Copies of this chain bind each other. A is one copy, B any other.
Amino acid sequence: MTITLYSLCGADVARPFSPHCWKAVMALHHKGLAFEERPLAFTAIPTVEGGFSRTVPILRDDQELISDSFRIALYLEETYPEQPSLFGGQGGVAAARLVEGYSQHVVHPAITRIALVDIHDMLAPADQAYFRKSREERLGKTFEEMAAGRDAAIAALPAALQPLRHMLGFRPFVGGAAPLFGDYILFGALQWLRITTGSIHLPPDDPVSLWFDRCLGLYDGAARAVV
């Protein structure tokens, strides 16, 4: 059976950009599984798989349907135990949840302050209206206010990545000698920034830039191919 991954795109289906979907893409490559990616616009998500989930990624694997990137990774770990582990054991699952917490509550807000208007501009018109309204409500700021703070947000990004940079002083990947799901969690955040704004806005010799480049090179450069 073919595995299908529903992900997120804007007006251009060739540029899926969601951080959470990139985590699932990298997890599937890590497990060495063939899959078909089907990028969807925000407003198209409720139209697939009988409205199974309001958010992507959604994974269909034969009779199984799973949403949420972390639950997809846990499903893949359990279903394909003979393939390379995504977590390196039960302690690794909990540690990856802490990485997820750091990514979503420290790194994502820092990226949102940079990329929000770029994301909006990538969307098809029908999605732009939904996106602007929902994000302005969530953030309590207009897009014009966010755009005015963009340079300051870029200047603040390196500090948000200091925990990752600290770790990279000791090991090449969050997973140790080789990447695990914890790497893909943080990679997904920076890949989101790269695809939506064209850059990760860090000096090329920053340890985070060097690690990000190592991740872009994984699996025959699968993630580098999307620009």
Chain A residues engaging chain B, CB cutoff 8 angstroms = 87-102, 104-106, 159, 162-167, 169-171, 173-177, 180, 182
16 more A-B residue pairs beyond the given contacts A97-B170, A98-B182, with a C-beta to C-beta distance below 8 A: A90-B176, A91-B175, A92-B92, A92-B95, A94-B173, A94-B175, A97-B167, A97-B169, A97-B171, A98-B98, A98-B102, A98-B174, A100-B166, A105-B163, A105-B166, A106-B163
Copies, count: 2
Nearest first, the 8 A-B pairs at minimum CB distance are A101-B166, A101-B163, A88-B91, A95-B95, A94-B176, A94-B171, A105-B162, A97-B167
Contact across chains for A167 and B90 when beta carbons are under 8 A apart: no
Tell me the complex Cα distance, A104–B171, Å: 17
Tell me the complex Cα distance, A208–B114, Å: 30
Q: How far is the CB of A33 from chain B (nearest CB, A)?
A: 21
Chain B residues with Cβ below 8 Å from A93 are: 171, 176
A101 partner, pick from B87, B92, B97, B167, beta carbons under 8 A: B167
Tell me the complex Cα distance, A167–B92, Å: 12
Q: How far is the CB of A87 from chain B (nearest CB, A)?
A: 8
